[in-house]
Each structure stands twice: as C-alpha cells, then as structure tokens.
Structure 1
Amino acid sequence: MTQPPVAFTPPIGVDGAPLLVLGPSLGTSTILWEDVVPALAAHYRVTAWDLPGHGGAKPATEPFTVGEVADAVAAGIGEFDGPALYAGVSFGGAVGLELLLRHPGLVSGAATVCSSPRFGDPANWTDRAAQVRTQGTGSLIVGAAQRWFAPGSIERRPVLAGRLLHSLRDADDASYALCCEALAQYDVTARLGEIEVPVLAVFGEHDEVSPEAHASTIAAGVRDGRTARIDGASHLAPAEFPDEVARALLDFFGGAR
C-alpha cells in the first residue's frame, strides 16, 4: 500500500532552530494555524501539513489508518532536519500520538490540541462517511460550525471562520469519508503508557468533541503529560484564540527541547 497523501508547507522561522510541525483537524487545512504561526516562527522553524484531499494534499485513492497518516507525516519530517516538535488539532493530534508510538525518537515533544485518544462511537464516523459519499462535505457545514466554534467565536473572527468552513466544503468527498473511517478504527488509549516524551494535552473550555476528560486521559496515560485549558474556546482553539494557544505551546516546548 502506498502512503496516504499529505502536503507540507515550506518551513518558515529561525534558521537552525528546532523544527515544529503543525497538524490539522478533519475538514480544515493549514489555515487553521496561520494566526498562531508568527509567534511560533519567532522561535522555531515551522511547517504545517494537510490531510489527504484537504488543502494542498492530493486526494486519497484507497483506505488508510490514522497510523498510516502518521507514517506519511514521519516521511515528510524526514525531509527536514530533525528531530521535530509537534502540535496537532483533533485528527492532527491523533496523528501526533501515533507518531510517538510508531516513530520513537522522531518527535522530542508533542502537543495534542482539542484531541482524543479515541473519538467516540465508531458508528458515528461510518455514518458520517456514508453521508459525505452521498451528499458531499457541504452537508456538514451547519453541524461543523456548531461543533468547531464556541458561542461568539464566529462573530469575533468571521473571515477566518468562513475560510475554515469553505475548506470543509472544498475537501475531497472521498478523502474526507476515508478520514472518517480511519477515525472509526482509531483508539490508542491502551498504548498511552508507551509514550515517554513530554506531551501537552490542550483542551477548549467548550469543546464537546474532545472535552477536558479526553485531555486528562492523554495526560494521565503518557509517562510525562500535562494539560492546558483555553478559556472560551471550543474545538478549533488555534483559530478562536491564537494568542492563547501560541502561549501554551511556547511555554510547553520551551521545556520540552
């Protein structure tokens, strides 16, 4: 099987500094992180990547697992000078945990942002995959807006919120469905204790997809874990409160290097 297609942005930031890799949530793209990047790029070389069929990545043509996406990301990291630091949102956070499990030594510190060791009932993901295959990702926009953004977030940041919802609409339907089916199979809860590098589990105050309990499970399960709360945020904390997310990551990675 060929690796699922992902696409990296060119690194920006401080020459010779540690590489910091940023991962997306399902249905978004690298624009999720664009207001956080300037603060991070003042200290690191920063790159972000897109899921199959999202943003700049080619569509997927066959099924894959979250672990296999992590393998593709690991191959991309290998093109840069490593090891890397890593932060990912939701699906991207799941990829981060799989990176730590499947590629020990490649990542020296990781943050899961609004993410989980398991994303609920697998049937919900297979149902969503079926919906997208018949109705397209546009059928998800209303529900996504409700899950992604806390009350008032869209009104505070209407342009970015609109661009993120457009990224969902523009995602390749088949690739999105395959991502859903990958999440249906994903569960690393029992393996968290194998992760030795420092892990920060960031959660949004209003996030119902990956609530505080999920962040606490990650932090308690790994050997060196902690949590951080983003007040007022829901599931897309880097878009809703970029300054606060940047501060949490800089505080954490300053100790993880």
Structure 2
Amino acid sequence: MSVPEITPTQLAGGKGKPVLIAAAGLGTGAKALWIDAAAYLEDFQVIGIDLPGHGASPASTEPWTMAELATAVADLAVRLRESGDIDPAQPLYFAGVSLAGGLALQLGLDYPQLFSGLGVLCSGAKIGEPQAWLDRAGTVRNSGTPTMVVGSAQRWFAPGFIEQNAEATTRLLHTLQNADRFAYAHACQALAGFDVRGRLGEIATPVIAIAGGADEVCPPAFAEAVAAGVQHGQSAVVDAAAHQAPAEAPGETARLLRGFFLGN
C-alpha cells in the first residue's frame, strides 16, 4: 500500500477567493465532470483533482486505501498553499462525487482541521458490496476499462440525459475509456474496503450530502444517512440527476454547494 500521486487542474477563478477542491469519481475526470458546474462557482477558485490513472493524474503502481488517498489530497492542499498557488488566508472546501464523496468523509475523519466544509455528492458512507468491487477490479484488470462503458452509461445518467447532452456524455465516457486499467482496479479495491458508517458521528466539519433523484447506485437515502450521521450535516436532492450531478445539473449543484459553503 502507498500514498498515490494526484494532479491538480485549475478549473475556474483565481487566487484571493475561497478555494474549492472538486474531485471526480471512478471512471470520470475532474474537468469532464466539473467544468460546467465550475462556471457557476464564480465565488471560488476551483481546483479539480483526478483519481490515479484518470484524467491528469498518473496511474498508481500499487493498491491504495481511501485513507491513503485522503493523505494524498491533504498533502496536495498543503503544497498548493505553500507554493502560493492558492491563497493560504482563504478557507478551503472539498466536494467529491461517488468514490470522491466517500473521500470527503475520509478527509473529515483524518484531517478535521483542513477543510471548512465538505460536499458528498452522489455517494455514501459505504458504496456497493466488497465482493462486487473486487470482481469488477478483476474484470477491468484483465479486459480494460472499455468493458465498463455500456454499464456505466446506464448507471451514471438520468433518463434522457444522454440523448439531450451528447457532448457532456461523450467527454465523461471517453475519460472512462482512457483510464488506466490497473489504477481503475486499485480504486475498486479501495471501495471494497471503504465503510465509515459507524464513524460518521466523529466528523465535525460541516457536510452537505447531495443525491441525484434518479441515482440507483447511491440513492437519496444514502445522502440522508450521511447528513443525519455527521455532527453538522444537511442533505439535498437534485431531481434531474442520477450519479453525476455536476455534469447533469451543473447550475443546481453549484447553487447548493455555494449556498452551503458561503451562505449565499
């Protein structure tokens, strides 16, 4: 096990504003997923981060845990502040989708002083079943990420989205197809070992849990459980979205995050 390397990408804004680290989940990339929502997040400097082997981040060479990924994010935030790429005097927020929503909870547990607020999007304190993730890891390791495209398209998007939003759909599915197969498998293994349902009460950082109304992977009940379990939680449902809310409903997703983090 090791701490993986992740690469930041500036998506919007500039120094002198509150900083939002916007993270993408399994099979997606920060730019592909967050670029439309970033246009509505003008109050923030938005920094996107990709999972290992996805988008701009190099592929992991060893398995990693969610705790190790949280360490990678925390280390990155410290480096960005020390280098002056983000304003160290400004508050720092984190929002992640799916696996990266679970990562938000892990950051709340392991680095409680680092972030002023956390966004858990289309996610939960446990996602899926361990054996199913291990089986998927084996499939992708042997056959590649293109084997996941059809099933992911069915799970990711609300009915009608693909037909009405070809460009957004294409960029997300291309990111999946181009993801490193071994790094994708490592992410599946991390999900297999992730379950913080019994530790939610330890999280004191304010949390907003946002669910897609049509999400069958992480339905609204998951968001409600997170919000009820942490010390300072709120939940919301984006009816028009399934499992990729920042791409499916960028304006509403941004409005919810901005309102929770900044009170406007």
TM bin, normalised by shorter chain, reads: over 0.9
> Could you tell me how far apart the structure 2 residues matched to 1:188 and 1:227 are?
18
- Superposed CA offset, 1:9-43 (max 9, x none): 13641431111110101000012000011211x21
Corresponding residue number in structure 1 for 2:212: 204
SS at match of 1:10: strand
> Could you tell me how far apart the structure 1 residues matched to 2:184 and 2:251 are?
29
> Could you tell me how far apart the structure 2 residues matched to 1:78 and 1:204 are?
32
Corresponding residue number in structure 1 for 2:85: none
User: What TM-score, normalized by structure 1, do the two folds share?
Assistant: 0.96
Corresponding residue number in structure 1 for 2:221: 213
2:142 equivalent to 1:144: no
Corresponding residue number in structure 2 for 1:26: 26
> Could you tell me how far apart the structure 2 residues matched to 1:111 and 1:2 are?
25
Checking the alignment, whether the CA contact within 8 Å between 2:12 and 2:46 is kept in structure 1 is yes
Q: Structure 1 139/11 Cα, relative in aligned 2: closer, same or farther at 3 Å?
A: closer
> Could you tell me how far apart the structure 2 residues matched to 1:120 and 1:12 are?
33
Matches within 5 A, 1:94-243: 94-243=102-251
Corresponding residue number in structure 1 for 2:253: 245
What is the CA-CA distance between 1:2 and the residue it aligns to?
4.1
Corresponding residue number in structure 2 for 1:37: 38
> Could you tell me how far apart the structure 2 residues matched to 1:160 and 1:12 are?
18
Corresponding residue number in structure 1 for 2:13: 13
Q: Structure 1 14/55 Cα, relative in aligned 2: closer, same or farther at 3 Å?
A: closer
- Superposed CA offset, 1:62-121 (max 9, x none): 110011111101111112334411111011111111111111110110110101100121
Q: Structure 1 75/161 Cα, relative in aligned 2: closer, same or farther at 3 Å?
A: same
Pairwise CA RMSD of aligned residues?
1.3
2:89 equivalent to 1:92: no
The list of structure 1 runs, each at least 4 consecutive aligned residues, that deviate by more than 6 angstroms after superposition, is none
Corresponding residue number in structure 2 for 1:58: 58
SS at match of 1:100: helix
SS at match of 1:22: strand
> Could you tell me how far apart the structure 1 residues matched to 2:156 and 2:10 are?
27
Percent identical pairs in the alignment equals 46
SS at match of 1:34: helix
> Could you tell me how far apart the structure 2 residues matched to 1:90 and 1:141 are?
16
Q: Match for 1:32: what amino acid?
A: L
- Superposed CA offset, 1:134-176 (max 9, x none): 1111011110000000110111211110111111010000000
- Superposed CA offset, 1:176-210 (max 9, x none): 00100000000011110011121000000010111
Gaps of 5+ in 1: none
Q: Structure 1 12/79 Cα, relative in aligned 2: closer, same or farther at 3 Å?
A: farther
What is the CA-CA distance between 1:44 and the residue it aligns to?
1.2
What is the CA-CA distance between 1:45 and the residue it aligns to?
1.2
Checking the alignment, whether the CA contact within 8 Å between 1:14 and 1:43 is kept in structure 2 is no
> Could you tell me how far apart the structure 1 residues matched to 2:134 and 2:119 are?
27
> Could you tell me how far apart the structure 2 residues matched to 1:60 and 1:15 are?
30
